[in-house]
Amino acid sequence: MRQVPSSAKEFDVAAYKELATNFSNKYNNKLVPPDIDIYILAQQYYWSVSKIILKEGVNYRFHVASADVLHGFSIVGDSAVYNIMVMPGMVYSFTMNFNKAGTYYVICNEYCGYGHGGMRMIIEVIP
């Protein structure tokens, strides 16, 4: 039996993919309201959304999963750094508050194959 990290839970890939696709269709490159959970799916070699816009100083609930191989999910920016390893078949949930407006980048920091270097996403935080 596989151990599930305390910050994760097992999931059905098809069901999560539908959540992530619905989120992306509605909020890719748009402002995400604070009461909406953020669903992101990692897949060789992209994130399910390319850019989201969030409000400064607001708590957002993220859910991140991998559809295929081990991925790293790192948020890098002036006032926020967050890093988790995302194992296939697990969904990781966390709350994040960006206390400074600006551009933050999400990168995959776990080598996942030849297209790994292009796996980027933008989080734009506005006042």
Tens-digit pLDDT profile for residues 16-41? 999 999 999 999 999 999 999 999 99
Residue-range domains of the chain with CATH = 8-126 (2.60.40.420)
Three-point CA angle 83, 84, 88, nearest 5°: 150
Tens-digit pLDDT profile for residues 37-49? 999 999 999 999 9
Q: How far apart are CA 94 and CA 80, in angstroms?
A: 14
Q: How far apart are CA 94 and CA 107, in angstroms?
A: 17
Tens-digit pLDDT profile for residues 67-92? 999 999 999 987 768 999 999 989 99
**CA-derived radius of gyration, the chain:** 14
Neighbour-count burial of 58, counting CB atoms closer than 10 A to its CB (0-12 exposed, 13-18 middle, 19+ buried): middle
Entry pTM: 0.91
Report whether 46 contacts 55 (CB < 8 A): no
- Tracing tokens 């607001």 back to the chain, one arrives at 58
Report whether 30 contacts 8 (CB < 8 A): no
Report whether 37 contacts 65 (CB < 8 A): no
CB atoms within 10 A of CB 103: 11
